Amino acid sequence: MIEQDLRDRIIAAPETILEDRDVMRALIAANERAMGSNIVDLRGIAMERLESRLDRLEDTHRSVIAAAYENLAGTNQVHRAILQLLDPLGFEDFLRSLGTEVAQTLRVDCIRLVLESVQSSDDPALRRLGDVLYVAEPGFIADYVAGGRNVSLRPVTLRQVVPQSDALYGEKAGFVQSEALMRLDFGKGRLPGMLALGSEDPHHFKPAQGTDLLAFFAGVFERTMRRWLS
């Protein structure tokens, strides 16, 4: 027999039983045992299926909310980085900000701005601009993005990779585990460029990730660079 105190509490607030899944599941199981093995409770089977469907819907709901928060956080990151790009008044300060403040905002370990040029990279004026700027021979960008494969080049490429040489990232090449490569178009009559973001986290950039935000960042970066190249 149920103790009178417990019985009175259940009668006073029966909704507490109905809202508790574990208690309701135990009551349904007890009812099935009482009916015997020769009776199939279709209502119980339907409830189990509905519970399973509800669990899947809740998991999907949580995943959608998590993705929305992650996308919002990524949008805010890119917006802050763009504002930092617009602050410098000189090209040297622009490159310095790119390698420090912008890299920290985007949470990457290194940034390289690749410019194709027929001018030698040993020019003292170029060396003075620091490690962020990498001057390469014409065709370097297409070869680097393709990685020796015969593939169509996309505006933004995300991949998990260990660089085969330290030509681009220098002493940090051994730590780069993933990278984002954004091809840049500086206008008619100019050689292309590329913005490379390198991360020590192999999961920071993956091919399955969306590229809309980075494509937008690259578009703003292109227009900013045209001002310095003019």
Residues 108-131: tens digit of each pLDDT = 999 999 998 876 555 555 555 668
pLDDT in tens, 89-111: 888 888 889 989 999 999 999 99
Q: Which tokens go with 35?
A: 């009916």
C-alpha dist (Å) from residue 116 to 39, 96, 101, 122, 227: 78, 20, 25, 14, 17
Contact 201, 177 (CB under 8 A): yes
Tokens of 185: 């178009």
Find the angle CA(208)-CA(199)-CA(105) to the nearest 5 degrees.
100
Domains of the chain in start order, with CATH, are 77-229 (3.30.450.40)
User: Do 126 and 133 contact (CB within 8 A), yes or no?
Assistant: yes
> Residue 178: which pLDDT band, with cuts at 50, 70 and 90?
very high
The model's pTM: 0.68
